[in-house]
Amino acid sequence: MSEELDVVRQGIDEVDRELVTLLKRRLQLVSKVGEIKSRLGIPVYAPDRERDMLEKRRSEAEKHGISPQLIEDVLRRIMRESYCSEHDAGFKCVNPSARNIVIIGGNGQLGSIFVRMFRLSGYQVDVLSRRNWETDAQRMLANPGMVIVCVPIDVTGETIEKLGSLPEDCILTDFTSVKAVPLEKMLKIHRGPVMGLHPMFGPDIASMAKQVVVCCEGRYQDQCEWVLAQMKIWGTRIERVTADEHDRAMSFIQALRHFTTYAYGYYLQKYRVDLDRLVQLSSPIYRLELMLVGRLFAQDPSLYADIILSSERNVENIMAYRDCIDEQVKMVQSYSRESFIREFLNIRDYFGSYSEQFLKESKILLDQARDSMVHNTL
């Protein structure tokens, strides 16, 4: 095109190659940090250090006339990679005297992550499933330090009942996405320490850092604390609520939201809406919304059936949602601009400062989304 342009572009390529080298050096240093942290038992995720470091880099960038948001975004992306490399060194074991950990369902997608993490932290982990129950259950469950039930929601109850009598100091816990019913069942069959956990992430995470695990206390929580301390070393954030608070919130966070996503997909399918056209003409935000709908259907239908149909509360919330849609469709049918604006402002009041915060956050995210999405539609 132009020789002049070629020369400058060669300069850019040169800078980019230096960038690759620099990234390599950084990741090597970070893996050293991982080794040291692992040896000393310091949590992987250090929010204060992260915040300080980003603040310094932002002000340095500003001095150089570079956008602080640019350097923050780039560093956050590199740090995410860093959390993954920190894994390789293994993790400090907070309870070296713990007896074996039995993970029932440890062959599953979510279970196997925890098998790996506990092993990387120096615990003896035994994996039980339907396949090896007959042959191995008796031996593995003879004197375990902890039993984790990590099986699909529809067989959680019967799995807990199959456990029989565990040693009194054994911790019993489950990873089910509802908490009240399994917790009750665990408290009934076991007299020792009991705790319900809900890891709020799918099996496709690159690292445990910054992931949320919800904890609902059952009995003798002090004896369970080492498990949470171990997870914190992995970088996990622990959120403590009661089982009832958990289930109430999940009915909105999981059941209702999955239902509305599912119903939107159903609608598009029923009317055979031209998806290619929608993708072609999408603004970034609609493309993002379409993505969040479409991705559901690449996943396991029974998982979603089980979550949505797991409680009467869910079905009640979904019915209440239907009534809201009814009300609002009537408003739209009357073409009443004033009613719409009035309701809109009520909802804004309800969202309070969250709506502005979400708008700000979504701007950053939509820019990122466009960076990667446009590529795929060209």
By beta-carbon proximity to a copy of itself, the closer residue of 169 and 239 is 239
Residue 142 sits in the site that holds a copy of itself (CB under 8 A): no
| Sheet containing strand 194-199, strands side by side | 125-128, 101-104, 146-149, 171-174, 194-199, 212-219, 237-240
Nearer to a copy of itself, 126 or 173 (CB): 173
Instruction: Report how far apart the first and last C-alpha atoms of the chain are (Å, whole number).
Output: 22
Query: Which CB atom, from 87 or from 246, has the smaller least distance to a copy of itself?
Result: 246
120 binds a copy of itself per the rule CB under 8 A: no
Closest CA to 27 of 95, 77, 78: 78
158 is a contact residue toward a copy of itself (CB under 8 A): no
| Shortest distance in whole angstroms from residue 274 CB to a copy of itself | 7
Estimate the crossing angle of helix 3-40 against helix 68-86, to 10 degrees: 50
Report the 3 state secondary structure along 186-213. HHHHCCCCEEEEEECCCCCCCCCCCCEE
Q: Which of residues 313-342 bind a copy of itself (CB under 8 A)?
A: 315, 318-322, 324-329, 332-333, 335, 337, 340-341
Q: Is 152 left (phi over 0), alpha (psi -120 to 50) or beta?
A: beta
Minimum distance of a copy of itself from residue 94's CB (angstroms):
17
- Amino acid, res. 215: C
Among 149, 230, 150, 228, CA closest to 190: 149
Q: Is 135 in the site for a copy of itself (CB under 8 A)?
A: no
Q: Report the alpha-carbon angle 111-116-119, nearest 5.
A: 125
C-alpha span between 95 and 123 (Å, rounded): 9
Q: Which stretch binds a copy of itself (CB under 8 A): 10-18, 88-96, 140-148, 185-193?
A: 10-18
Residues numbered 21-50 forming contacts with a copy of itself, rule: CB under 8 A: 21-27, 29-30, 32-33, 36-37, 40, 42, 47, 49
Give the one residue of 44, 75, 140, 170 binding a copy of itself; rule: CB under 8 A.
75
Binding residue (CB under 8 A) for a copy of itself from 15, 96, 97, 134: 15
Site for a copy of itself in 282-301 (CB under 8 A): 282-286, 288-299, 301
H helices present in 295-352, as ranges: 301-308, 312-333, 337-351
Residue 109 interacts with a copy of itself (CB under 8 A)?
Answer: no
CA quadruple 269, 270, 271, 272: dihedral positive or negative? Answer: positive
**Which residues from 202-221 bind a copy of itself, rule CB under 8 A?**
202, 204, 206, 210, 212, 214
Stretch that binds a copy of itself, among 116-124, 143-151, 157-165, 348-356 (CB under 8 A): 348-356
